[in-house]
Structure 1
Amino acid sequence: MTSTPENQGTTAVRSAGLRDVTLRDGLQLTGKNLSTAAKVATVRRLLELGVPEIELGSMARADLVPTMANTLEVVAELIPAELEHCWIWVATPGHVAKAAAAGVRNFQYCLSATDAHNQANIGRSTDASLEALPQAVEYAQGVDGRIQLCIATSFTCPFEGQVPVERVLAIANDPRAEGTCDIVICDTLGQAHPAQVTELVSRVRDETPGRRIVYHGHDTWGLGVANTLAAIDAGADLVDGALGGLGGCPFAPGASGNTASEDILFATRPGWLTPDTFAGIVELGEQVLGDLGESSRSKAAQGARSKAEAFEWVIRA
């Protein structure tokens, strides 16, 4: 689907879907959690507004990431048609088995490009995570599910610094990843710049098995939207964002918020986005961040509340 002049106002660009990750990555550094009811309502409102995919939680240990403790309670409240659009973060075959038993069918299997971050985040080496991946794929396929290969710290690592492109390509081409449906390229620290994103996404597209490419960016250094657009132009099919730019990794010093979903949508203008649906996204973000006591980092959300009322994307309320 390409944007049209009516809703874009500029030359049409290559399109990509949005996956909103507010309820997983977005909540990892917040001081408060959302109730099960609030999370369920957020999922349903995002789907109602037109957001095609959602990351709704994680199987991470609740003592390490307390805001993920009610993930399976959220899953239990959703119907299969809703869960078709939702992804759960997993890091072990056991995570997949437990989530599958609860009704999950879309799994994001995460490991890091560097051993140092994988040890901090998951408690094992990158190779050990890869060694366990075939069992995770088998469990996912056993319930007719889908499983993604998610590579954290694809650009930089807080402990090892710059990550060579060849390291990411080696993981992407590892035969133990056979059966994964997507590959998620993560700028975990938000330190990449557009030329780096273009190079890595292009090479993953051209030099690794054919899978849908997902780009997961952070806005730590102010290039979240620019990097997301570079990823789309280079071949990304899906891009991640969080309401209000919430998020960050508790095991990656220096990581801050995700690229804001509002900013990505305003920049990419998918066919389903209208001024009214954009207003709904902004209002949902304001509600979620208000419940959490967090401030929005979204420039587009701030613009939507400006006094420039002649601009159709400004909320007139």
Structure 2
Amino acid sequence: MTEILLRDVTLRDGLQLTGTTLPTERKVGIVRELLRLGVPSLEVGSLARPDLVPPLGDTLDVVAALTPEELERCWVWVATPRHVARAVEAGARNVQYCLSVSDAHNRANIGRDAEASLAAMPDAIETALDAGGRIQLCLATAFTCPFDGPVDPDRVLRIVDDPRTEGAVDVVLCDTLGQATPAEASALVARVHQARPEARLVYHGHDTWGQGVATTLAAVAAGARMVDGALGGLGGCPFAPGASGNTATEDLLFALRPDWLDPATLVALADLSGELLAELGERNRSRAVEGIRSRADAFPWTAAYSHSDGREEAVR
């Protein structure tokens, strides 16, 4: 079976709702620690207006501080061709071009309707490809909209089928509000997979209603090959009332068990998560972290196991 890639989005979606701004050096350190631990892919920031999303205002500085090898595994959120140009000029190789399926949310998030964002996408694709980079088509509110309610799946398919999106290597389906059920996630991913078999499908879930892991696993079963999560379940959309934390990276990794993950690595990720959440004054939303911190010293995936009966080597 093809291994499912986990993309950690802590430094983009995770930071959007925080009231604390991390220093650029701290963000770069988090990027390097996540990559060192084996996380395959990261979102490192956004070109959203810094006056509207202050915690992400130094994204280009973060990009400029990373090496070309590190940037091969990193993604930057963009919404306009100009964003793409600025990102690649700073050194970014991978950009995620986002628009909302719902016009109401696209206006709140980006300041225009979905058609205007779609019309600009060919220029964004050309700019990314001319720079030797890659671009994703990211569809926010693919399931529900905070202003208009349920989103018609056919509207998603019309965007996916639109020739103006050709050139995007991936299609990202976002459950922005965390309101999708596993059956809904499975059905939409399957339809998009059938419509765009050449594109890798990415599922971006939120855990607002406690369904983040369940919908992600359903999406994987239907054809998604990359999934998004944030440390400790941090994050949410500042332009979507009712949206709260992402599905936790730790929960997804415990469920998926990729080849690069071992108990020691999961414990280290939980430690990093705890440090970061304490800095930000945010609570932990990951159930896996609660498990890791339990006293279940007979279970290899807990921190207690590594300190019992001389079994430290089992988790190194």
- Shorter chain as denominator, the TM-score bin is over 0.9
Coordinate RMSD, CA, aligned: 0.9
SS at match of 1:313: coil
Query: Are residues 1:181 and 2:169 paired?
Result: yes
**Contact persistence 1:110–1:149 (CA under 8 A):** yes
Query: Are residues 1:105 and 2:93 paired?
Result: yes
Residue number in structure 1 paired with 2:252? 264
State the Cα deviation string for residues 161-183 of structure 1 (Å, max 9, x = none): 10011000000011110111100
TM-fit CA distance, 1:290 = 1.2
TM-fit CA distance, 1:128 = 0.3
Query: Could you tell me how far apart the structure 1 residues matched to 2:263 and 2:68 are?
Result: 30
Q: How many residue pairs end up in the alignment? A: 305
Unpaired segments ≥5 residues, structure 2 = 308-316
TM-fit CA distance, 1:57 = 0.1
TM-fit CA distance, 1:184 = 0.1
Residue number in structure 1 paired with 2:63? 75
State the Cα deviation string for residues 270-308 of structure 1 (Å, max 9, x = none): 011100111111111111111111111000011100011
Residue number in structure 1 paired with 2:311? none
TM-fit CA distance, 1:87 = 0.2
Aligned match for 2:237, one of 227, 244, 249: 249
State the Cα deviation string for residues 214-271 of structure 1 (Å, max 9, x = none): 0000000000000010011100010000000001000000000000000000001001
Aligned match for 1:120, one of 108, 123, 130: 108
TM-fit CA distance, 1:28 = 0.5
**Contact persistence 2:160–2:195 (CA under 8 A):** no
Letter of the 2:177 partner, please give it. L
Compare 208-217 and 47-56 and name the one that shifted more.
208-217
Give the alignment of 1:186-197 within 5 angstroms.
Answer: 186-197=174-185
Query: Could you tell me how far apart the structure 2 residues matched to 1:178 and 1:133 are?
Result: 9
Residue number in structure 2 paired with 1:10? none
Query: Could you tell me how far apart the structure 1 residues matched to 2:20 and 2:259 are?
Result: 34
Letter of the 1:125 partner, please give it. D
Letter of the 1:118 partner, please give it. N
Residue number in structure 1 paired with 2:275? 287
User: Identity rate of aligned residues, in percent?
Assistant: 62
Aligned match for 1:155, one of 140, 143, 150: 143
Query: Could you tell me how far apart the structure 1 residues matched to 2:283 and 2:17 are?
Result: 13
**Contact persistence 2:135–2:168 (CA under 8 A):** yes
Residue number in structure 1 paired with 2:54? 66
Query: Are residues 1:54 and 2:49 paired?
Result: no
Residue number in structure 1 paired with 2:223? 235
Query: Could you tell me how far apart the structure 2 residues matched to 1:116 and 1:132 are?
Result: 18
Letter of the 1:292 partner, please give it. L
Compare 109-118 and 284-293 and name the one that shifted more.
284-293
SS at match of 1:252: coil
Aligned match for 1:34, one of 10, 14, 22: 22
TM-fit CA distance, 1:209 = 5.1
Query: Could you tell me how far apart the structure 2 residues matched to 1:20 and 1:162 are?
Result: 27
**Contact persistence 1:215–1:236 (CA under 8 A):** yes
SS at match of 2:221: helix
Question: What is the TM-score of this pair, normalised by structure 1?
Answer: 0.95
Residue number in structure 2 paired with 1:5? none
TM-fit CA distance, 1:208 = 2.7
State the structure with bigger RCO (CA 8 A, min sep 6), 1 or 2. Answer: 1
Letter of the 1:74 partner, please give it. V
TM-fit CA distance, 1:16 = 1.1
Query: Could you tell me how far apart the structure 1 residues matched to 2:89 and 2:275 are?
Result: 32
